[in-house]
Structure 1
Amino acid sequence: MLDLKGKVIAVTGAGSGIGRSLALGLARRGSTVAMADKDAAGLAETARMLGNYPHSSRAFDVTDTDALQGWIDDAVSEFGGLDGIINNAGLSVVAPFADTPREDFNRVMNVNFNAVVEGCRLALPEIRKRGSGWIVNISSVFGMMGYPTQSAYNASKYAVRGLSEAMHIELSQTDPGIKVIRVHPGGIKTNVARNAKKIAGMPGTDELMDSDDAFQKAARTTPDQAAETIIRGMETGQHRVLIGPDAKFIDLMVRLFPVSYMKRIGMFLTAS
């Protein structure tokens, strides 16, 4: 077991959902948490919930590389170093690829992937100074399977998966003390689906109108449960973490039926 007590962990997207639960869970294990989120009010609420646990917070957009660098630099300066980063911030847009404006597609890629790249790039030198630590990148079950109206989200989460797998292989040879973990959450009861920009559904369907209700019905895991699974993955040195029974089912279907998995997964989702 790897001990998180006394470690300094940076968490993006800490103003709500999994990020908030991660901050609280890490703090309870004795970690110092440096938090970031674009939502200043949500971040302030997380800080209030942390109370006297050691932490810092800064509100900024993770696509602002200078702000990202300043946040990491300040965490190192204030707390004496950095032991890990959890690249958790993310967003989605709902539309078939042909109906997704370029600026919306690029925004998803910038937040979900490019900001993860920069988080890894900026944090890795500091973590290397410690000799060991964690880089945790939040992908998705949509980083294992394609899904209609989610082309931008799929692309970003597959990219996070590829980046994390490559870094895991590289650092296991050059820096074996640094654990690179890719996380594939299934349906989590967060605001990601509710806050997604909804542009269009598939032709002939009304899924756009009831997508929020359908997601909340299908979501099987709470943010606290998801965070606990991630933290256990950090403690046990896993390099891949699946969250929720739906993630495990999807993982199995994709492995067993790499061509026709969508038919089987679709039946599972419809029956949920």
Structure 2
Amino acid sequence: MPSPLSTRLPQLRKAKDFSGAVVALTGAGSGIGRALAVALASRGALLALSDITPGPLAETAELARAAGARDVLTTTVDVADRAAVEAWAAEVVAHHGRVNVLVNNAGVSLTGQFAELEHADMEWIVGINFWGVVHGTKAFLPHLIASGEGHVVTLSSLFGLLSVPGQSLYNATKYAVRGLTEALREEMLAAGHPVDVTVVHPGGIATGIVRNGRFADPDRGARTISTFDEVLARTTPEQAARTILSGMSRRKPRVLIGADAHLLHNFARFAGARYQDVVARATPADAQ
């Protein structure tokens, strides 16, 4: 006779197939979001794409159609606006009839020492990186449960696994996304809801997130952009999308992307809290 605990643990299930699945994706206008949209289109998914900028969003939709997407709904959405996200969720269900997957991908960056950051910039990044995930997940979750085969995916970061100087608010939002996602997965398992939950931790990905971000010090910002683009961004968005979809298909609770993410995550686990001392000493003051 199985123990009560065994009946509440996740059971082995076949790999997830995206063919015919309705996927809602935020931040689809560029970077990982665009790469995911194209990769999902090639796998037969039906798409509901959103972004705050309509031009790039339309370009992604055309790329998705060229990759084989049968149905692409595009909506301009500011994920920091709860009412806008709720209206988008209703539109997606009205258009597609259901939702199977939500990918909370939209995100921004804010670089600068905490003492130098402006409150307006801190509220901006929290509104998008954290509240955007809350709004999207809250609006879509009932539909994902009702689908009978749902999946919530959130984009945290390597900086949701360890902290670095000059990224205090970015770290804060990405740790928050990780905590929210892991608790949500536990809730879905405990309640027996048919919803998989995956949190993604990318390392350096060759996107415009840093280039298009905000900086407390513009001079340091220029150096940060150069370092990120030329040294740190070693993984392409297409490689990231393949890794994410592989992890989703295997229903993994956590997906790390890039050798840098794996290396630094393991270093932080090995060093414990003392990793902070090493990172602080290794970071030049003018790079923060």
- 1:121 maps to 138
- Equivalent of 1:133, from 150, 159, 164? 150
How far 1:17 sits from its partner (Å)? 0.2
- Using the size of structure 2 for normalisation, the TM-score is 0.88
Distance 1:12 1:233, change over 3 A: same
State whether structure 2 residue 106 is matched by structure 1 residue 81. Answer: no
- 1:50 maps to 64
Gaps of 5+ in 2: 1-14
Task: Tell me the number of residue pairs that the alignment of Structure 1 and Structure 2 aligns.
Answer: 266
Cα distance in 1, alignment partners of residues 22 and 192 from structure 2: 18
- 1:106 maps to 123
State whether structure 2 residue 224 is matched by structure 1 residue 211. Answer: yes
Alpha-carbon deviations, 1:162-211, whole Å to 9, x = none?
A: 0011011111121353111000000000000111111228xxxx753311
- The answer (yes or no) to whether the contact 1:25–1:228 under 8 Å persists in 2 is yes
How far 1:132 sits from its partner (Å)? 1.9
- The answer (yes or no) to whether the contact 1:250–1:265 under 8 Å persists in 2 is no
Cα distance in 2, alignment partners of residues 87 and 111 from structure 1: 10
How far 1:147 sits from its partner (Å)? 1.2
How far 1:260 sits from its partner (Å)? 2.6
How far 1:220 sits from its partner (Å)? 1.3
Distance 1:262 1:67, change over 3 A: same
Alignment of 1:65-214 (within 5 A): 65-200=82-217, 207-214=220-227
- 1:228 maps to 242
- The answer (yes or no) to whether the contact 1:132–1:175 under 8 Å persists in 2 is no
Cα distance in 2, alignment partners of residues 207 and 259 from structure 1: 27
| More deviation, 254-263/113-122 | 254-263
Cα distance in 2, alignment partners of residues 81 and 198 from structure 1: 40
2:210 aligned counterpart, secondary structure? helix
Cα distance in 2, alignment partners of residues 242 and 267 from structure 1: 25
Cα distance in 1, alignment partners of residues 246 and 225 from structure 2: 30
| More deviation, 55-64/16-25 | 55-64
How far 1:261 sits from its partner (Å)? 1.9
Cα distance in 2, alignment partners of residues 27 and 208 from structure 1: 36
Cα distance in 1, alignment partners of residues 171 and 140 from structure 2: 25
Distance 1:269 1:176, change over 3 A: farther
How far 1:259 sits from its partner (Å)? 2.2
How far 1:265 sits from its partner (Å)? 5.6
- 2:261 maps to 247
Cα distance in 2, alignment partners of residues 175 and 56 from structure 1: 31
Structure with greater Cα Rg: 2
- 1:41 maps to 55
Any runs of at least 4 consecutive aligned residues in structure 1 with deviations exceeding 3 A, and if so which? 206-209, 262-270
- The answer (yes or no) to whether the contact 1:37–1:61 under 8 Å persists in 2 is yes
1:238 aligned counterpart, secondary structure? coil
Identity, in percent, stands at 39
- Using the size of structure 1 for normalisation, the TM-score is 0.93
1:167 aligned counterpart, secondary structure? helix
Cα RMSD for the two superposed structures: 1.8
